[in-house]
Chains A and B, each alone.
Chain A
């Protein structure tokens, strides 16, 4: 017998998490990480108990967006995520010493199961997942182990991104994973519109500074879009 005991406790680790929002988009570089991180910051600022889990092991970047430096999870019957700007934050970067994480698919899955089994999130209103691009081990593990996950899809005005988005939405429908809605990032619209996150020249300078990030036009557009996505007013 070679029985993996870790999956048995994953549901328990998440039992006090009310909602899990997976920020997805199958193309790379379309703003999933900035959207996931900013959404977590907005929710925390509004007083919701919020967690952020960076599942993009190869391209982990939420720590840069949040300006998380010198932090490490606390060992207490597992690992308690450190808190930054009111957000409980977990990422593979805590364990990689800022080096590359060259993992094959099965290794990614093992690492995700390990982190899900040992991370003590405690009580959360929202756990925001920053997903890697594509439908891969991370996405399939989230669907398998985090059954209350709701998808928030990100795309861009590009025809290529939209085409990939359509395929992803069709698959989520087939897998019966609820989709809250679609955000169009880098949108060219002039005025705030439903689900549009306008291109914000000031965003780059705010990265790494949560307070500044929350004051960006990007954050304002995201907050405006939230109620239409079955998220609270933030």
Chain B
């Protein structure tokens, strides 16, 4: 249930952002799951439903979840690669699940084997849009 902590951050940010933007009714929040972190959608949605009780402003908000493929750019050889090109054990995947930056410990550029790469997309959880009535 580590997803619970991130779900709480999403619903809290959506409510605060809506309030700051003077939205009277929060209708929809877009949430992207980065492929690298591998968030469990079922647990995350369950947590969001539980958390709605603590955030009345999000009672009628629809959370539209999408998946963002992970993409990497090697800083040494400029090779671009995807997660599919990388091998990791179940334990390593679990560590990356908690802290996506652990990718630099366990993964390496398939072309030059450097751990010095940039995660250009699909790192973790972020909000893509917030919609509501003014």
Contact = CB atoms under 8 A, between A and B. Distances in A.
Interface of A: 1-9, 12, 75-79, 92, 95-97, 99-104, 107-108, 110-111, 114-115, 117-118, 120
Contacts of B127: 1-5
A117 B99 contact: no
Contacts of B10: 5
Contact of B126 (A3, A12, A102, A111): A3
A77 B9 contact: no
B32 to A, nearest CB: 8
Given A6-B125, A78-B2, A117-B6, 11 more contacts: A1-B129, A2-B126, A2-B128, A6-B9, A75-B2, A79-B5, A96-B95, A101-B101, A114-B98, A114-B124, A118-B5
Interface string B3-32: 011101110111011000000000000100
Contacts of B98: 79, 95, 114, 118
Given A5-B6, A104-B116, A92 B99 contact: yes
B13 A5 contact: yes
B100 interface: yes
B128 A1 contact: yes
B42 to A, nearest CB: 15
A100 B124 contact: no
B101 A110 contact: yes
Interface in B80-127: 91-92, 95, 98-102, 104-106, 115-116, 123-127
Contacts, number: 102
Given A77-B1, A114-B124, A100 B105 contact: yes
Nearest to B125: A5
B70 interface: no
B105 A99 contact: yes
A9 B92 contact: no
A135 B13 CA distance: 29
A8 B98 CA distance: 18
A1 B91 CA distance: 33
A13 to B, nearest CB: 8
Contacts of A107: 101, 104
A110 B101 CA distance: 7
A9 B105 contact: no
B78 to A, nearest CB: 16
B1 to A, nearest CB: 6
B130 interface: yes
B116 A102 contact: yes
Given A9-B8, A99-B105, A114 B129 contact: no
Contact of B16 (A8, A76, A78): A8
Contacts of B91: 97
7 contacts: A1-B30, A8-B16, A79-B98, A95-B98, A100-B105, A107-B101, A118-B98
